[in-house]
Structures are given as structure tokens and as C-alpha cells.
A and B are shown apart, each in its own frame.
Chain A
Amino acid sequence: MADQKDKGRGVLDQSLPFERRLIELESHLERAASDQERQEIEGELEREREAVFANLSPWQRVQLARHAMRPRMLDYTARVFDDFIELHGDRLAMDDPAMVGGIARFQGETVMVVGQQKGVTTEDKVQRNFGMAHPEGYRKALRLFRLAERWGLPVITFVDTPAAHPGIEAEAHGQGPAIATNLLEMLKLRTPIFSVILGEGGSGGALGVAVGDWVAMFEHAIYVICPPERCAEILWRDVEKKEMAASALRVTAEELKELGTIDKVLAEPAAGAHRDPEAAAQTLAEEIEFFLEECKRERWTPSQRQAKFQNMGIYQETAG
């Protein structure tokens, strides 16, 4: 809800090493004494942004995707929608705070909104389990997908999770089957689904709410089969090879688009969504508007969604 927006964020202490110079320059700019000085600093800012952001390494992109100040689901819902009424509970066991959902108003239309909220303050992060949902979270999402189908509402999902929660209770309650069921049910759903990868799209935990007719992804988000650190442990037996893993896994939005996994890369404001959440929200709002327009043209059908996912993958067929 709106009161969640941007709460509890300091600036410098949460910045990444490659952002420090930018932040310094910005504070110089605020204190600039003359127009001439201002122009000089602006010029330097532009060059610095260009130098850093035109050549981000895959690992720097992972860091940006996980940036402490990166806007979260509720930062977007507060800006993109005119109203959002949160609905709670999976009707089986509990309400998972890592998975948020409810009905929202967008330009006079009602939509169903579902997604992961990572949390902003320390307390909030812990309460939301860093956006790592339990099986109950996936079942709550499924409950809301079905409601949307019954009510004829388009579904908008927000993806931002390191992973589905790995834990004893999560296993006892069927984390694997819960995700598998969502995949199957999302493929069948008789209402259109728009998904956006906000920050981290972590593995099956992300896909469990990302089987969309139209999957958009922010420029500096990542979408991975497993976190680069874990990939490094598995393949190189060395977590310090995470930078190599990030590069080998092809985690960036551009690369994923080339592989046919996502449909659209959403450009971020200069130096990242966290530097201008309003602008990032505006970009997302335009994409949702496009999606809803296409809904009216009946562009999205379950059979096309199914065909899209059936066609994913690259293999060869040898003779004989």
C-alpha cells in the first residue's frame, strides 16, 4: 500500500561501489555556486553515467538487480495503480507476506495483481522473508489467479524474489508441487496474464508466478536458473567464481530477450530504476496500458500462451 512507498531508505550507505562517484557528483551539483559550475558538473555526471552504465559487467547487473534501494512491488503498485485493495490468505493454512495480491484499479479498469514483495526496512524484510514465498504463497497466488478468471479480470504479476523459500516447513508443505501446480494452472488460465520481472527473477520461485502471455523485464533486472553464487558452488566448487557464473548464465534482460524467454525489455531511467522510481513506474504503466489495450483486441489467448512456452528451448534433431 501507499504507506510502504520508499520507506526507510538512506542513500549513500546503500549505494554500490560503482555508483559512489555519481552520488558524489550529484551532491556537488546541489551545492554548485554558479551556472557555469553546474554545467561542468552536469557534463561530468553524464560522462560518468555513460562510462559506468554503458559497460556494466554481468556481476554489476546482479548487484543492481538486488540493489537495496531498488523499487519493490509495492513501490510500483502505489504509483501505477489508482487503488489497490490487498487480499490475504491461501484459504488452506496461512497468509504468506512474501506473496502479495489483490485487486487494483488501472485507468478505470479493475485488474488482479499478484507478486513478491522483498521488503524495504530490516524488520519488513524479515517479516516478508526477503520475498521468498512458502508453498502457501504460491497457493495464495493461485487462489487469486482463479478469482481473476472467474471475474474476468486480467492478471498482472510482479516478480522479485531470490528464490522460493528453501526450508523444512516449505518442503513439508510441498514447495515443489505448489510451484508445479501454478505452472500448469497459469498455462490453463482463461484470462490474460502480464508479468514483469522487477529485480531478481530467481528460478522456479520466480517462474511460479511468471507464466505470462506477455513477460516484460526491467533493463537491470536478472532472471536466472539459480543464483550465480550457487551456480559457482555447483560448477566451480567455489562461491568466489560468482562473477564468472553470472557472465556464463546469461542473466541480463537483453540476452533473455534474444533467447526468447521474455517478450520486452523495459528501459530504466539513467543509472537505474532506484535513481528515479517515478520514471520507472511510468515506463511500467505504459507497458501495462499496452497490455490492456491488446487484451481488448483479444490478442492473448490460452492457446497462444501455451504455444509460447511449448516453443521454449534450443535443441537439435540429428538424422538417423
Chain B
Amino acid sequence: MPEGVWVKCPGCAQAVYRNEVDENQQVCPNCGHHYRINARKRIEYTLDPGSFEETHAAVETVDPLEFTVGGVTYEQKVAKAKATHGLKEALVTGFGAVEETRAAFGFMDPYFMGGSMGSALGEKFCRLAQDAIRERLPLVVFAASGGARMQEGILSLMQMAKTADAVRQLNEAGSPYISVLTDPTTGGVYASFASLGDVVLAEPKALIGFAGPRLIEGALKVKLPEGFQTAEYQASHGFVDRIVARSEMRETLGKFLRYLSRS
């Protein structure tokens, strides 16, 4: 969100007092627009305070293809993202609790390399799923991603199969997997683990889809219908169980975790 006391809400175009947005979990107090948020804020808004224990932070990205764009190597680009966002990857994994019920959690950060999925992210997702299975805990993952990470080429594509296999393991173990789709969930992440949740929740108005809207518009040379690829659109087509406002996420997750916990 831009600096300043007043911000213009992208939802209602009204000037809203920045502090009010901050105090309202980054939701416009005027129109209910859900701002895109980073993983750190997501953890703060979702989990019981102090309950989060991060895991697998040591799994990090390398530059297997020696990918360089405009003189900037992929390694340098990732290093910059790490410094800017204070994260090591676009997925933060760990254990935590919601309303005192423990679960395994994954939080994607849409700002870290666009929330894109490469090898390290795929590996972290798989380890997280295995932790959930081992500890007999439900898994909750907040997806937020522009898709696969271009700089790892085909290896990123293969993470779709790799993470789908982690979901297979969860399914076979009977470990409940709740996938929460947040703004944006697109491309290779949507076409793999994000849409494979036993239960799929979504935040209001989140962009959710396989091909991005600009790609479709460019390919078809048509104007897209109003509300296309929003959470509500996906829900009306049967791909989302429930739209859950940020203010109600804890209560909703708390119920699912209590009702589905096996210990």
C-alpha cells in the first residue's frame, strides 16, 4: 500500500484513512475491498499470536539454468527479493494454531518473485505435507501466486506434478487439506496443489484462474465479462466451497480444524 495518511481504495476509489485500513486487516472499511497482503501479515491475521513455528526455512533457491535477464542473474534477483521482503522463499511453512487448534500451515507471499513456484517452493510444500501426515494434523495452505517461476524453466513446471504428489500423499493418509485461494492464485499453482484442496476456500474478489485475464483477452481479442475469474465467479462455477472474508477467516478455519482434527 502506498505511503501517506490517506490512500485511494482500488475497490471503491474513495480516499480512506490508512490507519483504518491497517487496523482492519488490510480491508477497506468503506467497501470491504481486500488488499493483497504479504505472508508476514497473513500469519499475523490468521494464527494465534506467538503460535507459529517456522520449518524448512533452510530450503532455498539456486540458479540451475544460469538464467540472466538484462544483466541481472536469477541469483541476484532472488537475493534482492530476500532482502526486500525479509523472506527466503515465496512460501513460508510451519506449525501453528487457530483458536487453539494446532495444524500445519503454508503461507505464500505474492510479492516475493510474484509468489511464483520454483524448485525450492515445491520442495517446501512437499515437506510441509509430510509434516502434516507425520503429526496427524490437518494442513492449511494460503495460495497467492502468479504461477510457475519462469527462471527455473521446465523444473518449475515439474513442481506441479511434485506438489500434486504431495496432495496424493495427504489424501492417502486421510489428512485433511484446506486450500485458501487469495489474490492472486493463477497459473501453475492454481493448476496444481491450490485447486486440489479437500476444501477450497477463497477470499472475496480474489483473482483465481489458470490463464491470466490479459493473456485470454490478448488471445481471444474479446472483452472479458464483468467479475470474470473472481473468487465469486469460481464459487458460482463450483470450484470454491466458500468465500470467506478476512475478518471471518480465523473463525472458519478454527471450526474446520476442530471438526476435522484426529487427535
Contacts and interface: CB of A to CB of B under 8 A. Distances in A.
B155 A171 contact: no
Contacts of B126: 310
Interface stretch (B11-19, B35-43, B59-67, B97-105): B59-67
B254 interface: no
A63 interface: no
B2 interface: no
Interface in B95-143: 118-120, 122-123, 126
Interface string A222-264: 0111100011001110000000000011110000100101000
Contacts, number: 191
Interface stretch (B22-30, B44-52, B158-166, B242-250): B158-166
A180 B195 contact: yes
Interface in A253-301: 256, 259, 261
Interface size class of A (residues with CB under 8 A): 35 or more
A50 B192 CA distance: 42
Given A309-B165, A315-B123, A166 B211 contact: yes
Interface in B196-214: 196, 209-211
B157 A184 contact: no
A163 B147 CA distance: 14
A203 to B, nearest CB: 6
Contact of B210 (A176, A223, A225, A320): A176
Interface string B168-193: 10010000000000000001101111
A179 B69 CA distance: 30
A223 B154 contact: yes
B147 to A, nearest CB: 8
Contacts of B159: 312-313
Nearest to B211: A166
Nearest to B189: A176
Interface string A298-318: 000000001001101111111
B228 A168 contact: yes
Contact of A312 (B162, B210, B238): B162
A123 B148 CA distance: 33
B225 A207 contact: no
B153 A204 contact: no
A318 B190 CA distance: 29
B64 A259 contact: yes
Interface in A167-195: 167-168, 170-177, 179-181, 183-184, 187-188
A164 interface: yes
Contact of A171 (B70, B119, B229): B229
A226 B187 CA distance: 10
Most chain A beta-carbon neighbours within 10 Å: one of B60, B68, B171, B209: B209
A108 to B, nearest CB: 32
Contacts of A207: 157-158, 160-161
Contact of B65 (A172, A249, A312): A249
B165 A180 contact: no
B92 interface: no
B154 A261 contact: yes
B58 A320 contact: yes
B215 A174 contact: no
Nearest to A249: B153
Nearest to B56: A317
Contacts of A167: 211, 216, 219-220
Given A174-B237, A175-B191, A204-B188, A168 B150 contact: no
Contact of A310 (B160, B162, B229): B162
A315 to B, nearest CB: 4
B5 interface: no
B79 interface: no
B222 interface: yes
A162 to B, nearest CB: 10
Contacts of A225: 148, 150, 152-154, 156-157, 188
A170 B215 contact: no
Contacts of B59: 315-317
A319 interface: yes
Contact of A166 (B65, B188, B215, B228): B215
B256 interface: no
A314 B220 contact: no
Given A171-B216, A188-B168, A164 B162 contact: no
Interface string A130-167: 00000000000000000000000000000000011011
7 closest Cβ pairs, A-B complex:
A313-B119, A166-B211, A183-B164, A176-B210, A312-B158, A176-B190, A315-B120
Interface of A: 163-164, 166-168, 170-177, 179-181, 183-184, 187-188, 203-204, 207-208, 211, 223-226, 230-231, 234-236, 248-251, 256, 259, 261, 306, 309-310, 312-320
24 contacts: A163-B211, A167-B216, A168-B222, A170-B211, A174-B237, A177-B195, A181-B196, A183-B161, A184-B164, A184-B165, A187-B164, A203-B157, A223-B157, A225-B188, A235-B69, A248-B65, A251-B154, A259-B64, A306-B165, A315-B123, A316-B60, A316-B120, A317-B58, A318-B60
Given A175-B191, A310-B126, 19 more contacts: A167-B211, A177-B239, A180-B160, A180-B194, A180-B195, A180-B196, A183-B191, A204-B157, A208-B191, A211-B161, A223-B157, A224-B153, A225-B156, A248-B68, A251-B153, A312-B161, A312-B162, A313-B162, A314-B119
